[in-house]
Amino acid sequence: MPQKEQTLAISSAKEASITRMADAHCHLDMLSAEEISNAIKSGVRVIITNGVDTKSNMATLKLADNINIFAAVGIDPEHSNISGEELEFNIHLAESNRQHIVAIGEIGLDNKITADANLLKRQREVLDRFLDLAVSLNLPVSVHARNAVEDVLLMLEEKNIAKAHLHFFEGNAEQAKRAERRGYMISIPPFKSSRRDRVIKDVAIDNILAESDAPAAGTSPLDVKKSIEIIASAKGMSFEKAAEVLFYNTRKFFGIDAGFVRH
Ligand SMILES: [Zn+2]
């Protein structure tokens, strides 16, 4: 075999042996280019990266290649204390980039970071605005709910949100079942807990996603491997099978298929 063909054969054999993984939620703008390319090379072939404020939304849009990296734009609860003008700027940013984003996120509520009534009120106003935006753009939402699972579920239900990704799920099995009945996705971070194990066992695999939440939880998207291991062991599945189903779930939920507009 000529040398070139031999190299090709080896690299495609190598490719075939790689387990493809999807990271349903992280923040690539806070990671180095090397960390990102390492994760992709190691098999994390679909990554949903989320903006959290104006600056990261702009960086996130630049990072999206719509091959491996897909963008979500939002304002997270920690950065919700922004002016009306800045909020509208970000709404417009999402609207004008509709073809280049796969979700509205990160958005949500966080009752842990503050007890200030005004800040909590502002979190709700910002979330409310982005939920309306998601409906009008027909996009799924990637939602943060720290110490706020009940509040967030109520808002999603009131707004009749059809597609929600409950990022870093920390609710109980009952709340997980309630979300599952609405078709929402329960997202598992790279941390094991007995409560989440219970949730994983109770919810159908079709309603589960894996995420690294790097660099907030995992250090790189590659840490989604740990999330997949947690899911596989709770479900009694092999790692490869779980990775394959979760890869499919992520692509399906975020509308990533051969028809996605590439630019
Ligand atoms: Zn996050």
Q: What are the pLDDT digits (tens) for 90-134?
A: 999 999 999 999 999 999 999 999 999 999 999 999 999 999 999
CA of 7 to the centre of ligand 1 (A): 39
Helix (H) or strand (E) holding 6: helix 3-17
Which of 43, 7, 39 lies closest to 26, judged by CA? 39
Q: Are 73 and 57 in contact (CB under 8 A)?
A: yes
- Outline where 42-105 has alpha helix (H): 54-63, 84-96
- pTM, two decimals, is 0.92
Distance 3 CA to ligand 1 centre (A): 45
Q: Looking at residue 9, what is its pLDDT?
A: 53
State residue 13's pLDDT score.
Answer: 54
Identify the structural domains of the chain with CATH numbers, from first to last.
21-253 (3.20.20.140)
Q: How far is the CA of 106 from the centre of ligand 1 (A)?
A: 6
pLDDT at 12 over 70: no
Q: How many helices (H) and strands (E) does the chain have?
A: 10, 8
What's the CA gap between 73 and 160, in Å, rounded?
Answer: 20
Whether residue 6 is predicted with pLDDT greater than 60 in this model: the reply is no
Distance 216 CA to ligand 1 centre (A): 7
- Tell how far the Cα of 23 is from the centroid of ligand 1, in angstroms: 12
Q: What is the pLDDT of residues 73-86, one digit of tens each?
A: 999 999 999 999 99
* Mean pLDDT in residue range 29-39: 97
Distance, CA of 73 to CA of 29 (rounded, Å):
12
Q: Helix or strand or coil: residue 185?
A: strand
Question: Average of pLDDT values for 225-231?
Answer: 98
CA angle 101, 104, 108 (to 5 degrees): 155
Residue 174 pLDDT exceeds 80: yes
Residue 48: enclosing H or E segment and its boundaries?
A: strand 44-50
pLDDT at position 260: 54
pLDDT of 111 reads 94
Percentage of the chain surpassing pLDDT 70? Answer: 92
26 CA from centroid of ligand 1 (Å): 6
**Ligand 1 center to 5 CA (angstroms):** 43
- Cα of 173 from ligand 1 centre, angstroms: 22
Compute the distance from residue 24 Cα to the ligand 1 centre, in Å: 10
pLDDT of residue 14: 59
Give the other-Cβ count within 10 Å of 212's Cβ: 28
Q: What is the mean pLDDT of the chain?
A: 93
Element (H, E) at 73: strand 69-73
**What residues contact 191, with CB distance under 8 A and at least 6 apart?**
217, 226, 230
Judge whether residue 27 has pLDDT over 70: yes
Weakest mean pLDDT among 3-7, 97-101, 139-143: 3-7
Mean pLDDT, to the nearest integer, of 46-66?
Answer: 97
- Distance from the CA of 90 to the center of ligand 1, in angstroms? 17
Judge whether residue 35 has pLDDT over 70.
yes
Cα of 79 vs centre of ligand 1, distance in Å, is 12
Please identify every residue whose CB atom is under 5 Å from ligand 1, which is an ion. Answer: 106, 213
> Band of the pLDDT at 263, cuts 50, 70, 90?
very low
Output the pLDDT for position 18.
87
